[in-house]
Chains A and B, each alone.
Chain A
């Protein structure tokens, strides 16, 4: 089965056609709405399809083009937004009952930026509740299905955004990545997914999960489309004090520069135990393709990444337990009435959060509690330093690193829901990047023995996105 619906062009092609007047945004939007109408019932990529809003925005954009205006680099390109990005006046649920019906009073910075570049929001996509999960099965509104095989998960937590692009419901989408939530679903759905350097993209309006790890990034069916979106959303934002106050180096201009002379290291610790042999074989093939294109490929060792999963599942829940204390039934979202405010808060949180969110809140509360702080959270933060040191040493030898994105191809729905730890192991290869704030991209690179997509991950040091995209473009070409 083809991942991308036939007859639908790339974001680069759509924007060029709309800007030049060869196509109207209205035609483009109607085409994608028809795809959604035909297959969304099988996939459930969206919590909300913004059909009327998209038609109105397209008509307005077409009037601007007719009047001689240039709407920008994403002119008329439909975009799907993960439903943890705030949209003013439009429900933003995080796939949680606790925020059902909430209409935020402001837009996320990325939502403003893509709209300002001419993109048209076509819907809010499904996710694991509050982005906690690796399969999109932890949604209060039911799971999303993988467009390549609807008995399989799309990955997660940004499973709706990955599936929307894979199914041809939108050429591009936005997700968030805290421990792999963009890259892993991109791999499982056979699309491109980017986790930018921490601080490159503003998190203002991204509903917080783990603030020192969260980052917004694009999904696309081509590397050039992902680059186009990243160039639009990257850049300093005074509304996010963790955003990097420096000019952004765009990635689009270097896409064709190749990998001649680049030093690329295959991470040995992420190629052994736990990695399915058919996935490892595709990563080996990718390494050979990069070598054939002129890169110097070798084996890299980043020993401390083996502690990444443990450190992550102490740090991320700790931050989440703090961030999610705001859902108390007072200012927005669900309230379950009770005699006192304290009882109301407990009743609201008990009714509003799903099991995985409760698990992580309790795990985080435990890791931060008196008597356990030093043994768990404190120690995990020191392990984070060890991982950063090992990466720094590897990047003295190599410009980029290479690994699988996900240890396996897409698994069956329900296969891992009973055992949270087994589910967490999906994130082994992606978590280290978040812990150290670096960049990484997942590029589709053929299929596994089951015929399902395999993603190869290119890892880069902080702010080395231009180099990372050069390798991604070479891999995309080699996979053709």
Chain B
């Protein structure tokens, strides 16, 4: 992958395949073509931001400068465990059940 400098032309088909893998999405060949074009359009529009000189400007990740919000360490009401587990695709012994993690039979 490139260093992402502003001289970089546009997002490539390989870039899209890479981010799809990172985001755990499978794309067909046709989808890869369509999404590459559409994402390139959006990033092309974002060139105005890329070209802007913002050196010395602090980033704003949130509307307000929040610091950690703490509560008193006392027990309060929580979700009902059975009600939560009732919504899970698979459950065993009061826990969420998933297929083998490493592809081996347990």
Interface residues of A (CB under 8 A from B): 102-106, 198-199, 212, 238, 241-242, 244, 306-307, 309-311, 313-314, 321, 325, 328-335, 337-347, 349-350, 353, 358-359, 361-363, 365-366, 369-376, 378-386, 388, 419-421, 424, 436-437, 462
* 20 A-B residue pairs with CB within 8 Å: A103-B86, A199-B64, A242-B64, A307-B49, A307-B52, A314-B49, A330-B89, A332-B87, A340-B99, A343-B99, A344-B98, A350-B26, A365-B23, A371-B1, A376-B46, A381-B59, A384-B60, A420-B41, A421-B38, A421-B42
- Complex CA gap A455/B51 in Å reads 33
Known: A212-B61, A381-B59. Contact between A376 and B4, CB under 8 A? yes
The 10 A-B pairs at the shortest CB distance, nearest first, are namely A437-B63, A335-B89, A381-B59, A241-B69, A382-B54, A372-B4, A384-B60, A105-B83, A310-B49, A365-B19
B89 touches A358 (CB 8 A): no
Given A313-B46, A339-B100, are A350 and B5 neighbors across the interface (CB < 8 Å)?
A: no
CB distance from A71 to the nearest CB of B (A): 24
Interface of B is mostly: loop
**Other-chain contact of A105, B20, B69, B79 (Cβ < 8 Å):** B79
Known: A105-B84, A212-B63, A341-B98. Is A379-B24 also a contact (CB below 8 A)? no
In angstroms, Cα B18 to Cα A365, docked, is 10
A386/B57 in contact, CB under 8 A: yes
Known: A103-B87, A199-B64, A353-B25. A359 touches B39 (CB 8 A): yes
In the complex, what's the smallest C-beta–C-beta distance from A114 to chain B, in angstroms?
21
Contact B45 A309 (CB under 8 A): yes
* Known A198-B63, A349-B24; contact A366-B39, beta-carbon cutoff 8 A: yes
In-complex Cβ contact of B71 among A238, A307, A344, A436 (8 A): A238
Contacts of A241 in B (CB 8 A): 66, 69
Give residues in B with beta carbon < 8 Å to A. 1-6, 8, 11, 15-16, 18-20, 22-27, 35, 38-39, 41-43, 45-50, 52, 54, 57-64, 66, 69, 71, 79-80, 83-84, 86-90, 96, 98-103
Q: Is the CB of A311 within 8 A of B49?
A: yes
> Which chain B residues lie closer than 8 Å to A384 at the CB level?
59-60
Which of A333, A381, A424 is packed against the most chain B CB atoms within 10 Å?
A381
Q: Determine the residue in chain A with the shortest Cβ distance to B34.
A: A355
Distance, CA A251 to CA B5, complexed state (A): 48
Find chain A residues with CB under 8 A from B87 CB.
102-105, 331-333
**Chain B residues closer than 8 Å to A349, beta-carbon distance:** 23-25
Is A346 in contact with B101, judged by CB distance below 8 angstroms? no
Given contacts A386-B57, A424-B42, contact A362 B19 (CB under 8 A): yes
